[in-house]
Structure 1
Amino acid sequence: MQKSIFITGGGSGIGRAMAKKFADEGWFVGIADRNQAGMEETSAMLSEGQCRTYKFDVTDRAAWDDALSSFTQHTGGRLDVLANNAGLPSGGPLTEVTHEELDLLLDVNLRAVFYGAKAAFPYLKAAAPGSCLLNTASAAAIHGMANQSVYGATKAGVKSMTESLEAEWMEYGIKSRSIMPSFIDTPLLQNPPNRSRNTPIRDSVMKAGFEFTPVETVAQEAWNAVHGDATHVLVGKTAKKMSFVAKWWPGYLKRRAKSLAKAHEKSEGRPASAG
């Protein structure tokens, strides 16, 4: 029987690359996003009849049930992988983040991941053993960085949730996995980190000296995560270096965190703080 994967945030970036990767491997793909045009572009890259698209907000619990029910009608009731990939970027000092932005980030990046897991559980259980909950976490979950307090906290939450469900769901034959990429050059990085700033996130990342990982590399590691034994899969040189340094040289990582803070300040024409 053909295997299937349902991917949120499939209208661009990592989600689109995942859809292409799994489709190339012969899987049937469900693509979910709020961006209808983006989903159509992703769908056009796949073979005809190889995917279904679903426009909904991942923070809507009822919409999750409706989407997965509809998708599995096209897969013979089968769901092998749920890829909780939809997310929002954010940055800047906490004092600049509005309460509206704070609530939205928590809802999309964390609360909705739990909604997806709960909605997918009965389908993943039926497809077990070997089915998988795949969460997109981030290298930001490895160590707190300046100007990423809210974003990093949501991704650290996703990391912790993944570990908990790995323990809870293993008895059902369901894997729980996360991918932890560093900076990915996607359209989302063309946006400013928050409403009080106007410089794209991408500019600050480049000024801080961090490298970008291609989305195709992330998609390959997502495939590896689904088929491997590691609970968390670090993606890209920066993520792997951060993990190593966080364990052995945390002081160096703190200095790198400061460099990112200074890059944000300079990008807005502000004097960089000393030290």
Structure 2
Amino acid sequence: MRARKGIFITGGGSGIGRAMAQHFAAQGWMVGISDLNQQGMDETKALLPDGQCKTYKFDVTDREAWDEALKDFTLVTGGQLHVLANNAGLPSGGPLTEVTHEEMDLLLDVNLRAVFYGAKAAFPYLKAAAPGSCLLNTASAAAIYGMANQSVYGATKAGVRSMTESLEAEWSHLGIKVRSIMPSFIDTPLLQNPPNRSRNTPIRDSVVKAGLEFTPVEEVAQEAWNAVHGDKVHTLVGKTARKMGFIGKFFPGVLRKRARTLAKAHEDSEGRPARS
């Protein structure tokens, strides 16, 4: 009997992760989701057909928890994992001088170190499902060019982009695809939080004030499906991401100027960092 196709999605309690879960479940896939938010996972599970979702509450920086979750999930997929969606991540921003060491360490741990943990834990199950299995990493348009007030976040996502390219080269001969999606701003619950402890204004308010567009999570989920089944290593998602990709390739000086403009926008007339 052919193994049932399965996808394991981190950060599946809301936003992009939830949309991915719905999209793949609609195609008949078995879905595993992880999150620290049990209520959010329960809500996601309730949106999927009965018997098509298993939930796992754990911290993605916990290596042993990764092993336990994937071992249990693959019991229902014949010991195989067709897609690992390394999607869990934290937003953060603000000048580096405002970001605390604790905030910086947490962002590096969740957005980058945990992505490597997921890749290593999933590898034997992806190999068992090859050819055609896929490690799918959620990077960001922030990885295209470093912007002011995104130094740590952008660095983590650039790291994810680089890791994707390296593993694509390492694992391709095994029949394992390694892909990334690089969305621009997505209107998820995470954007209701301020960029760091020094500020009170939600990230979403800053995006709206800047006149930037939000990409619907349904579009991201569709592009995730396309990435898993296509040949492109990186998939830019949303108008802003595609525009940045084009400018970054042909007119990088424009992005450099934009980065400096954003930096100046965060300073008051005396040159001090602006406060919300």
Q: TM-score, normalised by structure 1?
A: 0.95
3-state SS of 1:132 partner: strand
CA contact (8 A) 1:204 1:263 kept: no
Deviation at 1:14, TM superposition (A): 0.3
Q: Which runs of 5+ in 1 are unaligned?
A: none
Aligned residues: 270
Deviation at 1:186, TM superposition (A): 0.5
* Structure 1 match to 2:120: 118
3-state SS of 2:214 partner: coil
Q: Which deviates the most, 203-212 or 193-202?
A: 203-212
* Structure 2 match to 1:106: 108
What code does the residue aligned with 1:18 have? Answer: M
The Cα offsets for residues 147-186 of structure 1, whole Å up to 9 and x where unpaired, read as 0000000000000000000000011100000000001110
What code does the residue aligned with 1:198 have? Answer: N
Q: Which runs of 5+ in 2 are unaligned?
A: none
Equivalent residues in 2 for 1:249-268 (5 A)? 249-262=251-264, 264=266
What code does the residue aligned with 1:10 have? Answer: G
The Cα offsets for residues 81-110 of structure 1, whole Å up to 9 and x where unpaired, read as 000000000000000000000000000000
Structure 1 CA distance, aligned partners of 2:34 and 2:98? 31
Provide runs of 4+ in structure 1 moved above 6 Å: none
Match for residue 61 of structure 2 among 45, 52, 59? 59
Structure 2 CA distance, aligned partners of 1:260 and 1:8? 31
Pair 262,44 (structure 1): closer, same or farther in 2 beyond 3 Å: farther
Match for residue 129 of structure 1 among 122, 128, 131? 131
Pair 206,272 (structure 1): closer, same or farther in 2 beyond 3 Å: farther
RMSD: 1.4
* Structure 2 match to 1:11: 13
Deviation at 1:74, TM superposition (A): 1.8
Deviation at 1:118, TM superposition (A): 0.1
The Cα offsets for residues 103-159 of structure 1, whole Å up to 9 and x where unpaired, read as 000000000000000000000000000000000000000000010000000000000
* Structure 2 match to 1:243: 245
Residue 174 in 1 paired to residue 176 in 2?
yes
What code does the residue aligned with 1:161 have? Answer: M
The Cα offsets for residues 4-34 of structure 1, whole Å up to 9 and x where unpaired, read as 0000000000000000000011100001000
Structure 1 CA distance, aligned partners of 2:123 and 2:74? 13
Residue 210 in 1 paired to residue 226 in 2?
no
What code does the residue aligned with 2:87 have? Answer: N
CA contact (8 A) 1:133 1:174 kept: yes
